Structures are given as C-alpha cells and as structure tokens.
Amino acid sequence: MNPVKVGICGLGTVGGGTFNVLKRNAAEIARRAGRGIEVVQIASRSAKPQYDTTGVALTSDPFDVVNNPEIDIVVELIGGYDLARELVMRAIENGKHVVTANKALIAVHGNEIFAHARSKGVMVAFEASVAGGIPVIKAIREGLSANRINWVAGIINGTGNFILSEMREKGRTFEDVLAEAQALGYAEADPTFDVEGIDAAHKLTILASIAFGIPLQFDKAFTEGITKLTIADVNYAEQLGYRIKHLGVARRTEQGIELRVHPTLIPEERLIANVNGVMNAVMVNGDAVGSTLYYGAGAGQEPTASAVVADLVDVVRVLTSDPQNRVPHLAFQPDSLSDLPILPISDCESAYYLRIQAKDHPGVLAQVASILSARGINIESIMQKEVEEQDGLVPMILLTHEVKEQKIDDAITALQQLKDIVGEVVRIRVEYLG
C-alpha cells in the first residue's frame, strides 16, 4: 500500500524531533501502522534547516502545507494561538487529519476545532499536548474508560519542575535554570507560560475535559505559577516532611469541578513527590481502578516527538480500510511480526549482587577478584563484614557491573571450588532501571 503523506508545519524542537523519529524508525513504524508514513512537505522559516530534508518539499508558507492536495495528515508544530488555529481550521476544511502538540490551541480553541473536525469527518489528535511523551490522554480516554474519574493531579510542566528540582537539589538560581531549560528546548516560546502556570493550566483543562466529559474551559482555571516560591519555603516544607511541586489538580465534587494549578506541598513519601527534573507524572483516580500513575519525560525533542508519531500511527490505522488491521492485537500488524529470538537466561545481561561466605584466611579476596577479572567481570563495590561469631566465617558482598549471566555462572562455579569458600554463593540480579 502507498505510504500516507504527511506535511509538517514548524521545524523547531518538536518538528525536528518528529521528522527524525519518523525517518529513523520508519520500518518499525510501518510495521505498527500497516502503512509507511512519508513526510512530503515541511513549512520552515529557515531555508536551510539543520535536518537532512532531501526529497522533502520545503516552503516558508505553512498554508502551502495545509492546502497541498497530496497531503493526508497535517502536523501542526508551530505553536501559539492565532496562526495555528487558522492553519488547523483550514487543514480540516480541506479534509485533512490533524496532529498537534499545541496545548494552548486545544485548551483555548479546541471546542471549535473539534466541532469543525466532526462536521468534516476528520481526526484531530493531540497526545503530545499534555505531559509530552507520556501517553496519558490515551490512558484516560481508552484504558480507564470503565471508570467514573474522581480526580486527576499531575506535575505537567517540565520546565517548572526542572527549575524547582535544580533549585532545591543544587541551589541554582531561578534565572540560571530557566535559561538552561530554554536552551534544552523545554520552555515555551514565551517562558512566562511555563513559570506562571499558564501552560500547566492549558494541559489541565484538556485533562479535565477527557476525565469528566466537559467542554474545554481554560478561562475558568485557577492559575498560580512558581515565581513567588522561595528557597526558604522549600526548606521549611522539607523539614516538615514535604516537597513543594507545581501541581495541576482537577477534582470532581458534589458542587462541580475543581480546576486549579499552583505550588503544592506533597508528603515526601509519595511517588509523585520524587518526580524531578523535566520528568512529569500524572495521577488519575477512578472509582473502579483506584489511583494510577503515569510517568515520563514531559518535554524535550524526541520524547514529545514520540507522542506526535504515535498519534500519526493512530490516524493511519483508522484510515486503513480493513477493520482487522485497525488496532492489531499484538500492536504490530500480523503480517509484520518478526522472528527475533527470545534469549536463554545464560545470554541475558544484568549486574549481580554476590554474597560469599569465606574462611577468615588472608588472600581470599585476591582469589575472588582474580576469578572475576579472568572472566571480564568488573566489580562495582565490595563490602567485607566482621567475622561472624558462630561459624568464624566472613561474609563478603560484591556488586558487579553488567555482564552476561553465563560469565557469572562460570565465576560462581570457580568460586565454589575455592577451599576457603564455604557453601553456595548467593546470587541476586541487580537492575539499575535508569
């Protein structure tokens, strides 16, 4: 089948990321979508963009993209309210499906955009608009559709969380960290949107609509940013056992919906209190499922592109005429499953904790180290305990770097043959999960 033809408006942080991910993972994406996805035109302000756009038509006018009869899906990544609205409405008018990362656009003009899209029978997808790469819209809309949602609460601005984390952990100044967030491509074009809570309010508005089934009502959101927070408050909160996080909260009450973003004290033992840097996390509480938590990068080039491309795949799947292929059971189209082998445990790689019981003789440690190093196993750390009263043995605890299981098996066999080592070597696998 012919590839689906896509046009991108805006080749900045997210546009560049989307272009790169589509190119790099083209084969994998086609296996999931059931068709190739080809970028045929890009509207960019720069005549010579920093990406390899060979074979792609470039234009400085984004209306060329939304009016291009060849294009099936328009990806709007320019940002802002007015031009983006005009482009998206025109794309819909022209019968094109739309994917956008623009939360300002959806929160403020979404009701009108969705009505127009319905009348023209096209899709508008916007997963990247909330919490960047975290598929939280999909989780609420699809995975939690059995529930009456009670509340949603989340850290939904990456720039703000990055600033608060760096200030707290490293004592850096607000201005210094904000400048870095801008350089890293996290911040909005106007960073007051990030630090005054406007961006978080846009996102919360979208989450509340999806959670409670209400129209988008950004103008009703209570919005307070992080600019008035002081290090003194962060420290006092910490002494009381709390972290201060900038949170968006949407809660159903008997009287109506709370819709508010502001700095919030959260008990430090909560998972969400430990979400730092540019990471975002959204908790959703439903009457059947209870509390659930979604975590990941809330901003940045490729994390955001991840969500944009996933929306493209969703649209392409719906476009296929075969209902069987729309949502493949195993995520990949059945005729695209690959025959990658499943590895036996001996070929799996991890780090290891080893506990050895040794006799209290000189030179045991050197023998242990030489057995490990002969097999290319690097030691991360060693802890040797006092002689244990009862049996006169010395427990020796080692952490290794990552290595294939086969090598550890060999080493354990060799260690157990040493005359100064008693009993079995205890082995527990270590995963750093970074």
Ligand X SMILES: N[C@@H](CCO)C(=O)O
Which of the residues are catalytic?
A: 203
**CB–CB of 113/123 below 8 Å?**
no
DSSP 171: -
Quick note: the x/- pattern for ligand NAD over 56-85, rule CB under 6 A, is ------x--------------xxx---x--
Nearest to 158 by CA among 175, 181, 142, 136: 181
**CB–CB of 427/354 below 8 Å?**
yes
The residue from 297, 299, 313, 425 that contacts ligand X (CB under 6 A) is 299
Phi–psi pair at 214, nearest 5 degrees? -125, 155
DSSP 332: B
Q: Which does 14 bind (CB under 5 to 8 A by kind): ligand NAD, Na ion, ligand X, none?
A: ligand NAD
Q: Quote the CA–CA distance of 239 and 235 in Å, as a whole number.
A: 6
Which span (96-104, 258-266, 328-336, 377-385) binds ligand NAD, by CB under 6 A? 96-104
Q: CB nearer to ligand NAD: give 45 or 118.
A: 45
15 marked as binding residue: yes
Phi–psi pair at 20, nearest 5 degrees? -65, -45
Classify 69 as helix, strand or coil: coil
Quick note: the x/- pattern for ligand NAD over 38-57, rule CB under 6 A, is -----xxx------------
Quick note: the x/- pattern for ligand NAD over 206-245, rule CB under 6 A, is ----------------------------------------
Q: Does 36 bind ligand NAD (CB under 6 A)?
A: no
- Residue 174 CB, shortest distance to ligand X, in Å, is 15
Q: Quote the CA–CA distance of 100 and 122 in Å, as a whole number.
A: 14
Give CA separation, 272 vs 153, 208, 275, 279, 420, in Å: 10, 19, 5, 10, 48
Q: Of residues 137-196, which lie at the interface with ligand X (CB under 6 A)?
A: 157-159, 186-188, 194
Q: Does 247 bind ligand X (CB under 6 A)?
A: no
Nearest to 193 by CA among 215, 172, 178: 178
Residues annotated in a binding site: 9-16, 103, 188
List residues near ligand NAD by CB under 6 A: 10-15, 43-45, 62, 77-79, 83, 101-103, 128, 132, 185-186, 188-189, 299-300, 304
List residues near ligand X by CB under 6 A: 132, 157-159, 186-188, 194, 199, 298-299
